C-alpha cells in the first residue's frame, strides 16, 4: 500500500469534441455421512467454544415478559394453526402452490469495519441457499438418513429480493446503513431502529425483513415469532454467517443460520421443543421426540426418548454441513402460518417492478460538457483519473442533488483512455458517509466491457450505462467507476477549479479527495453525468401542466422538455417560432412523456426562440436562447 502523495506528469489527449490539449506541469500527491462435512480449510472458523446457535427462544421470552399480551395472542395463534392443520391433513394434502415471499436485507455496518458491509454477491448466495433448502434442492439431500427420507419435504416456499420500496420506488431489495454502533444486541434490538444506529423496518405485511450486522453475545442470529411487535418483526443474523461466500465462517458457512431462523419466523420451534425433556413438543407429528439439542456433527444414529433423533433437521443446532431437511409436518405448519398471521405477505406488491412512466428526469454535471476536458497522467505511471501504478480501485464524483431527485437510472462517462484485454469495469454509485466521502462499498454497480468503452472512445462518444433496476436515493451521492484489474481505463476531467468534488479509492480501501491525494495540484471534476429522476404526481383535471426547458441557453442541438402534471394518455403538439414570428420547427400528435428530447439541428441560426406546447386540454409556452449552432 502507498500512503504518500501522488504527482502529475502532464495533461494531454484531444478527445472528440469535448477534450482539449494542455501542457500544464504540476506535482504533488464432521457430519459422518461425508468426510468433507466438518473440516473446512477455505474459510475462517467460528470459535464454537462460546457461542449460541440461535437467540430466538430467549428473544421470545424477553418479549413476552415485557408484554404479557403477546404470549396470550400467540396462544390464540397456536389454536388457530391447529385448527387449520386438522382441516388440511398433512399426510393427505399435496402442496402444489409455491408461495414466494418478498425479502429485504438491511446491511448495518460499523463505519470503521468495512468488511461488515457485505457484498451483493454474498446476499444473493444466501437467497440461493435459502431457496435450495426450502425447496429440497440442496446438494446434500443424500446425507439424509434412509429412515427419514420419506419424511423430508419440499416446502413449496421460495424467497426473492424485493423490487420496490414501501414508497413505490425501485429497489434491489438491499439497504445499506453506516453506523457508529460496534455491536448489536437482541435485548436492546437496536439494529432495527434508525435512531439507535440501525435501520427501520419495512412493513412486515409486505416484506420479510433481514438485518445483517455484528451481533453481541456470540449469537449467530435470532428471529421474531409471529404475533410480536410490528416495528421489530423480522430476522437478525451475524454478517459472519449470512450467505455462503464472502465473510462467512466455517462451520456456519452454508446459509443455514438463515434457514433455521426463517423456520422460527414461520412459527417452527426447535425439534426438541421448549424444554430439554422427552415430554416437550415441537407441535409437529413427524419429527421424533428428542431430549435436547445437538451441536457440531454427531454420528448417526443418536438415540433419546427411545428413538433415533433427527439432529440433521434445520431446526436443530448442528453445524451447517450436518443440516439437510424439513419434514412434511414442518412444511404444513409453516403453511398454516402463511394462511394465518403471515397471510398478508402473500398479497404483497413488493415483487412487482414499479412502473416509472411519470418521471421528471435530468442529467447532472451538464455544465462540464461545455468546457474542455483533459486526460491527466500520473508521473509515477498510468493515469491520475484512472488506472495507475498505485493500484487505485475506483474514482468517483460527488453530487449535491439539490433538486431532491429520488431515482438514479444510470448515467454516462467521458473516457480518455481504454486499453482492452477482455476485462470489465463497473459503473457504480455510493452513498455519502460522514466527511462527505463515499462509502467503502458501492450501493449498486453495473458492468461495462472495456472493449465497448474503447469503441465509444474511438467514435468520440460518451459511454452510457443503466442500473437495473433503477436506484432509489435520498440526498447527496457519489457516482463513478470501479476500475478494472488488468485493463487500462481513465476518465476525462475538467480544467482546474478552486474546489474539487473528485475522489479516489486507494488500494487500502480508503477514499481520498483529489485535493489531498494530489497535494492540491489536481483540483478537477470528473466527466461523469448521472441520469436522475423524480416521480411526478398523477395529473388531475384542475392542475396546470408545467413545462421546464433545458439547457437554456441552448449551446448544442438538443433541447429537453420536462413535463409535470399531465395525463400519460395525451397526444401533444409542439411548435417553435423565432423572434420574427416565423415557425421554424413543429411536431404534431406526439405522445407526451415526462421528458421529450427535440433535435433542433434544422435551425441553423441563433437568437431568441419561443416554444408552444398544446392540445385540447392545455397550452403552455416558454422561450429559450440559442447561442451556438456548432454540430458536435
DSSP states of 266-284 as a string? TT---TT-SSSSTT---S-
Q: What is the DSSP string of 79-108?
A: HHHHHHHHHS-TTTPPP---EEEEEEEEEE
Calpha distance 444→437 (Å, rounded):
16
What element of type H or E holds 158?
Answer: strand 157-161
N residues, the chain: 632
For residue 447, give Cα distances in angstroms to 301, 470, 483. Answer: 50, 14, 11
Residue at grid coordinates 414499479: 354
Is 261 an active-site residue?
A: yes
From 449, 579, 493, 479, select the one nearest 26 (Cα to Cα): 493
3-state secondary structure of 166: coil
Angle at 607 between CA 603 and CA 611, to 5 degrees: 70
Which listed residue (63, 64, 261, 431) is catalytic? 261
Residue whose C-alpha cell reads 396470550 in the numeric block: 72
Q: Residues with Cβ < 8 Å from 572, sequence gap 6 or more?
A: 589, 590, 591, 592, 613, 614, 615
Query: What is residue 219's DSSP assignment?
Result: B
Closest CA to 622 of 557, 536, 560: 560
Cell of 151: 419424511
Q: Are strands 44-45 and 249-250 parallel, antiparallel or unpaired?
A: parallel
Report residue 477 as a C-alpha cell: 451521492
Active site residues: 261
Amino acid at each position: 500500500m502507498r500512503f504518500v502523495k501522488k504527482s502529475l506528469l502532464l495533461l494531454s489527449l484531444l478527445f472528440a469534441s469535448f477534450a482539449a490539449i494542455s501542457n500544464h506541469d504540476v506535482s504533488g500527491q464432521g457430519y459422518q455421512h461425508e468426510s468433507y462435512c466438518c473440516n473446512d480449510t477455505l474459510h475462517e472458523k467460528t470459535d464454537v467454544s462460546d457461542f449460541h446457535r440461535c437467540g430466538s427462544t430467549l428473544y421470545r421470552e424477553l418479549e413476552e415478559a415485557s408484554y404479557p399480551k403477546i404470549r396470550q395472542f400467540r396462544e390464540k395463534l397456536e389454536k388457530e394453526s391447529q385448527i387449520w392443520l386438522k382441516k388440511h391433513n398433512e399426510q393427505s394434502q399435496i402442496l402444489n402452490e409455491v408461495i414466494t415471499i418478498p425479502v429485504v436485507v438491511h446491511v448495518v455496518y460499523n463505519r470503521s469495519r468495512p468488511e461488515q458491509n457485505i457484498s451483493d454477491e454474498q446476499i444473493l448466495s444466501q437467497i440461493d441457499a435459502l431457496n435450495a433448502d426450502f425447496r429440497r434442492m440442496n446438494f446434500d439431500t443424500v446425507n439424509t438418513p434412509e429412515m427419514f427420507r420419506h419424511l423430508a419435504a419440499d416446502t413449496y416456499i421460495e424467497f426473492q429480493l424485493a423490487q420496490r420500496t414501501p414508497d413505490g420506488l425501485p429497489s434491489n431489495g438491499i439497504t445499506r446503513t453506516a453506523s457508529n454502533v460496534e455491536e448489536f444486541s437482541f435485548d436492546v434490538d437496536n439494529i432495527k431502529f434508525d435512531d439507535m444506529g440501525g435501520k427501520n423496518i419495512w412493513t412486515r405485511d409486505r416484506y420479510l425483513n433481514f438485518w445483517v450486522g455484528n451481533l453481541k453475545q456470540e449469537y449467530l442470529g435470532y428471529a421474531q415469532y409471529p404475533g410480536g411487535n410490528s416495528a421489530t418483526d423480522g430476522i437478525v443474523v451475524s454478517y459472519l454467517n449470512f450467505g455462503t461466500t464472502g465473510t462467512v465462517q466455517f462451520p456456519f458457512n452454508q446459509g443455514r443460520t438463515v434457514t433455521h431462523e426463517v423456520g422460527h419466523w414461520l412459527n417452527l420451534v426447535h425439534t426438541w421443543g421448549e424444554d430439554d425433556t422427552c415430554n416437550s413438543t415441537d407441535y409437529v407429528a413427524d419429527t421424533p421426540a428428542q431430549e435436547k439439542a445437538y451441536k457440531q456433527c454427531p454420528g448417526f444414529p443418536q438415540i433419546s426418548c427411545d428413538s433415533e433423533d433427527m439432529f440433521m433437521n434445520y431446526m436443530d443446532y448442528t453445524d451447517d454441513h450436518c443440516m439437510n431437511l424439513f419434514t412434511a409436518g414442518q412444511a404444513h405448519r409453516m403453511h398454516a402460518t402463511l394462511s394465518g398471521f403471515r397471510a398478508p405477505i402473500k398479497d404483497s406488491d413488493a415483487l412487482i417492478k414499479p412502473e416509472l412512466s411519470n418521471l421528471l428526469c435530468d442529467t447532472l454535471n451538464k455544465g462540464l460538457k461545455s468546457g474542455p476536458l483533459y486526460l491527466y497522467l500520473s508521473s509515477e505511471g498510468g493515469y491520475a483519473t484512472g488506472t495507475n501504478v498505485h493500484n487505485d480501485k475506483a474514482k468517483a464524483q460527488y453530487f449535491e442533488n439539490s433538486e431532491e431527485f429520488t431515482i438514479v437510472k444510470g448515467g454516462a462517462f467521458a473516457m480518455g483512455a481504454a486499453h482492452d484485454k477482455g476485462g470489465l469495469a463497473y459503473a457504480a454509485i455510493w452513498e455519502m458517509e460522514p466527511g462527505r466521502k463515499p462509502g467503502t462499498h458501492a450501493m449498486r454497480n453495473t458492468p461495462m466491457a472495456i472493449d465497448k468503452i474503447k469503441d465509444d472512445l474511438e467514435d468520440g462518444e460518451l459511454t452510457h450505462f443503466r442500473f437495473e433496476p433503477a436506484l432509489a436515493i435520498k440526498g447527496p451521492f457519489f457516482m463513478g467507476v470501479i476500475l478494472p484489474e488488468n485493463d487500462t481505463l481513465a476518465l476525462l476531467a475538467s480544467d482546474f477549479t478552486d474546489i474539487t468534488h473528485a475522489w479516489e479509492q486507494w488500494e487500502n480501501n480508503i477514499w481520498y479527495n483529489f485535493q489531498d491525494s494530489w497535494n492540491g495540484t489536481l483540483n478537477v471534476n470528473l466527466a461523469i453525468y448521472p441520469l436522475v429522476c423524480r416521480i411526478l404526481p398523477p395529473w388531475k383535471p384542475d392542475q396546470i401542466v408545467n413545462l421546464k426547458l433545458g439547457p437554456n441557453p441552448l449551446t448544442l442541438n438538443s433541447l429537453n422538455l420536462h413535463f409535470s402534471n399531465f395525463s400519460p394518455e395525451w397526444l401533444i403538439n409542439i411548435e417553435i417560432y423565432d423572434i420574427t414570428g416565423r415557425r421554424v420547427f413543429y411536431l404534431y400528435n406526439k405522445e407526451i412523456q415526462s421528458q421529450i428530447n427535440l433535435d433542433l439541428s434544422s435551425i441553423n441560426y441563433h437568437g431568441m426562440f419561443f416554444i408552444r406546447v398544446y392540445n385540447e386540454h392545455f397550452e403552455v409556452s416558454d422561450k429559450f436562447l440559442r447561442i451556438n449552432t456548432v454540430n458536435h
